[in-house]
A and B are shown apart, each in its own frame.
Chain A
């Protein structure tokens, strides 16, 4: 009984550390996105999807809500629009990886690339295309596409970073011989 209680307390402690570190990462990614005027990747998209990959649907929706809201603020687009899309993306990612896909870099890269393409196309369509901006192609080639490519490339940093946090701060079930003996004796 004592062993069970201790284990549950440790599990909660580890989860608190894990989410604390995720929150700090999300916050600094938001600050990074709003610093300087050069083209930067939208790091919040791969970050939210990568966190959602190993979480249940409800937690993924909350992560999508927070990252989407911050992304909307950083990108200067209609607040709530990106949030809505990222909630759907995160819940979809969680369902796909829990029921259909294996957890590996290739699957995650393909999923993020497809999802980001959709997001950037919608941004381009609603922000520039329907308003018939002059020289739309320049916008696409000089801003939207580099931003998209940088977002996809950033997976190489986001995936191992989230993986490392998860690896070191997730309590796994271990069968310790001493504990088993103690349980048998009891």
Chain B
């Protein structure tokens, strides 16, 4: 054993350990930017991840058909009810739309979100292994005009924000994470709160609104949208629906469980909003 500690091998091992410590200190100093070696590995891994991701998606889809037939039957019945409800709503909608079109001609209001500048469509390369909050990596980075803190969305709703970036890919923290806070309000009612994930709900793909007051009038089915007050997320972007409400453990405030419109655990593609009106006006990230 003494020979080992005096030998050249031990000195070389110490050099390798020193290199690992160096990488660790360097990555600590990078605050949100990837280490050089990881860029190389992730670039090489990209085609393999495309293939493995596609295989995984088809296996999960196949297994889901077999295992979830009861669930699908129940969902089918619920959807039929929803469709008949929506047909009724559609009549109202068509009337309102015609009215709105007329109004638009006069007051010249832009289409919703005309201020958005979007990245090219991004493919989800991989989810972070065993992250309970489902953070993931996408195949576009700073080359596509994306920067740290940019909101990540799908056509259905808000997904999260970019937390780490390199030229060709970036990492996204989702709204299931307690480390991401988003100012939200309830559409039409105006009750506002902070959307922040919790481990209790993350496993089921849910998140929560915290710091609600006793007199807030939220109820299941209400639609949650962003307030845009922080300057980090655009205003009035869809987030999800209220599933249930309850009293916080502290007993002082109330919370509401939110079911995002997007199933964050099964994403295959997203978009990044690189610029929008009011971006960066208030810094509360």
B145 within 8 A of A: no
Give Cα A134 to B202, complex, Å.
12
Of A58, A68, A78, A147, which one neighbours B130 at CB under 8 angstroms?
Answer: A147
What is the 8 Å Cβ interface bit string for chain B, positions 11-51, against chain A (1 contact, 0 not)? 01100110111111111100000010110011001001100
Chain B contact-residue range equals 35 or more
Q: Which of B4, B24, B171, B265 contacts A37, CB < 8 Å?
A: B265
B49 touches A142 (CB 8 A): no
Q: Nearest B residue to A140 by beta-carbon distance?
A: B199
B128 contacts the other chain (CB 8 A): yes
Q: Are A58 and B17 in contact (CB-based, < 8 A)? A: no
Interface size on A, residues (CB 8 A): 45
Instruction: State which of B1, B12, B22, B266 has its C-beta within 8 Å of the C-beta of A61.
Output: B12
Which residues on A sit within 8 Å (CB–CB) of B53? 35-36
* Nearest-neighbor residue (CB-CB) of A27 within chain B: B48
Residue B129 lies at the interface, judged by CB distance under 8 Å to chain A: yes
Across the interface, B49 reaches (CB within 8 A) one of A35, A37, A61, A139, namely A35
Q: Are B130 and A80 in contact (CB under 8 A)?
A: no
Given A69-B37, A134-B198, A143-B132; A88-B17 close (CB under 8 Å): yes
Q: Identify which of B129, B132, B266 contacts A42 (C-beta below 8 A).
A: B129
Q: How far is the CA of A95 from the CA of B4 in the complex (A)?
A: 10
- A82-138 with Cβ < 8 A to chain B: 83-84, 87-88, 91, 95, 99, 133-135, 138
Q: Is A177's beta carbon under 8 Å from chain B? A: no
User: Contacts of B129 on A, CB cut-off 8 Å?
Assistant: 33-34, 40, 42, 74-76
Using known A-B contacts A35-B56, A99-B1, A135-B198, determine if residue A58 contacts B128 with beta carbons closer than 8 Å: no
- CB distance B12 to A70 under 8 Å? no
- B24 and A78 contacting across the interface, CB-CB below 8 Å: yes
Report how far A79 CA is from B48 CA in the complex, Å. 21
Q: Is A31 part of the binding interface, using a Cβ–Cβ cutoff of 8 Å? A: yes
The total of Cβ contacts below 8 Å across the A-B interface reads: 128
User: How many whole Å from B15's CB to the nearest CB in chain A?
Assistant: 9
Pairwise interchain contact A37-B134, C-beta atoms closer than 8 A: yes
Q: Does B135 contact A (CB under 8 A)?
A: yes
A17 at the interface (CB under 8 A from B): no
CB of A142 to closest CB in B, whole Å = 6
Asked if A22 is at the interface of the complex by the 8 Å CB criterion, the answer is no
Provide the bound-state CA to CA distance between A79 and B29, in Å: 11
Q: Are A80 and B25 in contact (CB under 8 A)?
A: yes
Interface residues of B (CB under 8 A from A): 1, 4, 9-10, 12-13, 16-17, 19-28, 35, 37-38, 41-42, 45, 48-49, 52-53, 55-56, 60, 125-132, 134-137, 171, 178, 198-200, 203, 265-266
A-B pairs with beta carbons under 8 Å apart, 29 shown? A27-B48, A31-B48, A32-B52, A35-B52, A35-B56, A35-B126, A36-B53, A37-B266, A39-B130, A40-B129, A65-B16, A65-B20, A69-B23, A69-B37, A69-B41, A73-B38, A73-B42, A74-B129, A75-B129, A76-B135, A80-B20, A80-B23, A81-B24, A84-B17, A84-B21, A88-B17, A133-B199, A135-B200, A142-B132
